[in-house]
Amino acid sequence: MTEFLQLVVVGLSTGSAFALVGMSLVLVYRTAGIVNFAQGVFAVIGGLFTFQLSDDMPLALATLVSVLLAAFLSSVLAVVAVGFRERTTSLASTIITLGGAFLAQALLLLKFGDIPRSYPGISDRAWNIGGVLVQPQYVLLAGVALASAIALTVFLRWTIVGQALVACSDSRRAAELVGLSIRSVAVVAFAGAGALCALGGALLAPSNPMTYSSDVAITVNGFAAAVFGGLGSIRLALLGGYALGILEQFVVGYVDPQYSLIIALIVMLVLIGWRSRAEIASASHEARAAIHRARVPWPAPVRIGLILAGAVFACWLPYQLSTFDVALYDRMGLYALVTIGLTLLMGYAGQISLGQGAFFLVGAYTSAILTVGIDPDTRLVEPGAGVSPVLAVLAAPVVAAVLAAVIGVPLLRLHGHYLAFATLALHLIAYSVLSAWDRFTGGQYGITVTKPLTVFGHDLRGPLHAAVVWAVVAVALLLATNLVHSRVGRALQAIATDEASAAASGVPVASYKLRLFVFAAALAGLGGGLFTFSFLIVSPEAFPIVLSIEFVVMVAVGGLGNIYGAVAGAVGILYLEQKLRDVGTRPDLFGWDLPDAAPTVFSFGVFGLILMAIMLFFPRGLLPALGDASAGVWERVRSSRRPGATPPAPAAGRRSA
């Protein structure tokens, strides 16, 4: 019984930190209608700056200064992400917060390095209560979380400012009509949420050392707590944080620490599924708008001819590139396979998936394990163990599709942020399995593949492998465009526009959504299978949690629901990341010596800035913006040829959907 109570005490402590982040996410979502992926960064800011300032001032004062700094930075992010909502969509604003998180990570790396930082809590002496050790820091953290939940609930329900915050979320237009400033309200909500996260981070750091990258785990756990309450309840976000913290500690104490995150997430998914049963599904505004612009007005022969011509060029190009550039070009094609399926899933089925990286991971490890041999004991002593690499690659999309079909039935009953968290949890679970089953997956060292991928006597390596990958991308484009223009595509458009009306018209909504989910997973699995023989090694570091979010960014930058934009987004994002990393490897830039962390700083910080700029000025994506501009130019040219016609207003001046 003592061990049980000890685990509950520790779980309540860590769960309180998760709850503080979860409540801050609820506050932002209820007022601005977006999920702020930068919330974890403010917790890290609170922890790291309290560590630095505590050497020169009392701990309480250092914590206060850190909280105020986080509140100020969070309000600046609000102005950028929400202050331009006349131009940005909800998805674009969410991705702007992600860009802000990348920028903050880079600056924190420059300031504090990558060494975990911690400092003493309010007291080193623990209280022994019936054999259970209770740290004063645990009590303080739990008390602050409980007091914050009560204060936020009272604030939102019984104060004029709190009611104004909620009113802006319930009806933006109505709030504007009664004179509420959307920007001011958003700044208040973001500042309060940033302060809350920073306070949680400052209280958590003494028991959990922090680095610049700790925000990923903090954000994910906070998101889990917030989604437990539907991103709308402060009280349930608090309970969700408690539940997650206690679950993780129970698994650590009674099962195995390696399975703590896996089991905790599975239980949270069950609870979230139960919580979401009564909610009515509704397609997002972005999905409804995407289906009207995704269709290409070209006849089928022209469309197919253009794709084939592009495929010929794409297969020729790797033979003109250097060895290093071929590897990058190869990865562009692999990621394009994933984004083609994801843009169909998000743009047509209206399903936001943050877990496509899981299917990419499954495909890569399936092909690697089948090639080297399923039995770990025979891999080293029998070089010929395993199946043919060709069969292994063909099995990768099949395994990913079967997995998607099995989990898709319960997952697709969820909608909106519930589904987003469930798919993100899927990637977290798959990633954790790599460490838990290290004997089978190779753990952190991964699996090295020595057999080449041979087709008709040719080893697919270097330029030939890249050419084959892009040929597969062309086939995927043909399948996707034909699907969009088929009877099934029209049914998917009806589902994305109004799911209830589509079901009333006889469209099998659940069946079509499941099929599209399986198709997208199969494309991601195929990309993962080919990835194995591009780099001949698979390891966990190639499939971080951020990878799934990066796929969503690629789709958003290219244009949600735009199949060709998905390919352009994958190519553009990877090219930009690589070039920024190359700039960081230089010894100096414009006469300034660059630090050792410059490659990471450029690939995160500058990339985050550029990502924010793209979403600010091209919220619908680059390809739709280019299409709007060309359509505007063509319309002006046509109007100028008509006698007495007045040229239309420039496309750039029109308000985007």
The residue ranges of every structural domain in the chain are 2-275, 299-581, 625-649
Q: How far apart are CA 636 and CA 347, in angstroms?
A: 30
Q: 63 Cβ partners below 8 Å, 6+ apart?
A: 46, 50, 199, 202, 203
Tell the residue number behind the tokens 């469309």, with chain if given. 303
Q: What angle do CA 464, 470, 473 make, to 5 degrees?
A: 150
The residues pairing with 538 across neighbouring beta strands, listed in sequence order, are 447
> Residue 601: helix, strand or coil by DSSP?
helix
Q: Using the 8-state DSSP alphabet, how is residue 447 labeled?
A: E
Rounded alpha-carbon distances, angstroms, from residue 455 to 397, 432, 461: 18, 34, 11
- Which pLDDT score, from 0 to 100, does residue 281 have? 39
Nearest to 21 by CA among 42, 2, 49: 42
- Which pLDDT score, from 0 to 100, does residue 521 have? 94
Domain 2-275 CATH class label: mainly alpha
517, 324 Cβ separation under 8 angstroms = no
> Could you count the other beta carbons within 10 Å of the beta carbon of residue 232?
14
> Residue 459: helix, strand or coil by DSSP?
strand
pLDDT greater at residue 284 or residue 255 = 255
- Which pLDDT score, from 0 to 100, does residue 380 have? 67
Write out pLDDT tens, residues 571-582: 999 998 888 888
The backbone region for 231, taken as left when phi is positive above 0, alpha when psi lies in -120 to 50, beta otherwise, is: left
> Could you count the other beta carbons within 10 Å of the beta carbon of residue 390?
15
Write out pLDDT tens, residues 221-239: 888 888 876 777 888 889 8
Q: How far apart are CA 546 and CA 541, in angstroms?
A: 11
Q: What angle do CA 612, 616, 619 make, to 5 degrees?
A: 110
386, 370 Cβ separation under 8 angstroms = yes
Angle at which helices 215-228 and 90-112 cross, to 10°: 140
Angle at which helices 215-228 and 260-275 cross, to 10°: 30
Instruction: Please report the sign of the dihedral spanned by the C-alpha atoms of residue 481, residue 484, residue 488, residue 492.
Output: positive
Q: How confident is the model at residue 84 (pLDDT cuts 50, 70, 90)?
A: low
- Which pLDDT score, from 0 to 100, does residue 624 have? 75
Q: How far apart are CA 648 and CA 154, in angstroms?
A: 52
Tokens of 520: 């997208």
Q: How far apart are CA 92 and CA 618, in angstroms?
A: 9
Nearest to 225 by CA among 246, 240, 245: 240
Tokens of 261: 């995150």
Helix (H) or strand (E) holding 133: strand 132-134
To the nearest 10°, the Cα dihedral for 529, 535, 541, 544?
-50
- Which pLDDT score, from 0 to 100, does residue 131 have? 80
Q: How confident is the model at residue 62 (pLDDT cuts 50, 70, 90)?
A: very high
Q: How far apart are CA 332 and CA 572, in angstroms?
A: 9
Q: How far apart are CA 75 and CA 65, in angstroms?
A: 15
Half-sphere exposure of 61 (CA within 13 A, CB side): 6
307, 478 Cβ separation under 8 angstroms = yes
Average pLDDT for 92-101: 85
Average pLDDT for 325-330: 93
- Average predicted confidence (pLDDT) for the chain: 81
Please determine whether the domains at 2-275 and 299-581 fall in the same fold group of CATH.
Answer: yes
Q: 460 Cβ partners below 8 Å, 6+ apart?
A: 452, 453, 454, 468, 533
Q: What are phi and psi of 132, to 5 degrees?
A: -100, 125
Tell the residue number behind the tokens 């007022």, with chain if given. 31
pLDDT greater at residue 592 or residue 392 = 392
Tokens of 557: 């930058």
Rounded alpha-carbon distances, angstroms, from residue 445 to 40, 367, 536, 537, 621: 28, 17, 13, 9, 38
Write out pLDDT tens, residues 145-188: 999 999 988 888 888 777 766 666 655 665 555 556 666 777 88
- Which pLDDT score, from 0 to 100, does residue 167 have? 66
Q: How far apart are CA 228 and CA 412, in angstroms?
A: 17
Q: How confident is the model at residue 363 (pLDDT cuts 50, 70, 90)?
A: very high
> Could you count the other beta carbons within 10 Å of the beta carbon of residue 43?
31
Q: How far apart are CA 523 and CA 420, in angstroms?
A: 19
Write out pLDDT tens, residues 129-140: 878 888 888 888
Average pLDDT for 342-366: 88
- Which pLDDT score, from 0 to 100, does residue 646 have? 53
pLDDT at residue 654 above 80?
no
Rounded alpha-carbon distances, angstroms, from residue 126 to 60, 121, 402: 20, 11, 51
Most trustworthy range by pLDDT among 147-161, 302-316, 627-641: 302-316
CATH of 299-581, one of 3.30.470, 1.10.8, 1.10.10, 1.10.3470: 1.10.3470
pLDDT at residue 296 above 60?
no
17, 250 Cβ separation under 8 angstroms = no
Q: How confident is the model at residue 319 (pLDDT cuts 50, 70, 90)?
A: very high
The residues pairing with 592 across neighbouring beta strands, listed in sequence order, are 589
Average pLDDT for 586-604: 71
Q: How far apart are CA 406 and CA 429, in angstroms?
A: 15
Q: What angle do CA 52, 57, 60 make, to 5 degrees?
A: 90
Q: How far apart are CA 445 and CA 137, in angstroms?
A: 37
Beta strands in 250-320 (DSSP E): none
Percent of the chain with pLDDT over 70: 84
State if pTM tops 0.75.
yes
Tell the residue number behind the tokens 């539907």, with chain if given. 230
Q: Using the 8-state DSSP alphabet, how is residue 443 labeled?
A: G
Q: How far apart are CA 142 and CA 14, in angstroms?
A: 9
pLDDT at residue 652 above 70?
no
What's the chain's length in residues? 657
The residues pairing with 588 across neighbouring beta strands, listed in sequence order, are 593
Tokens of 241: 């944080």
109, 601 Cβ separation under 8 angstroms = yes
- Which pLDDT score, from 0 to 100, does residue 98 have? 86
Write out pLDDT tens, residues 470-528: 999 999 999 998 888 888 777 877 777 777 777 777 778 778 888 889 999 999 999 99
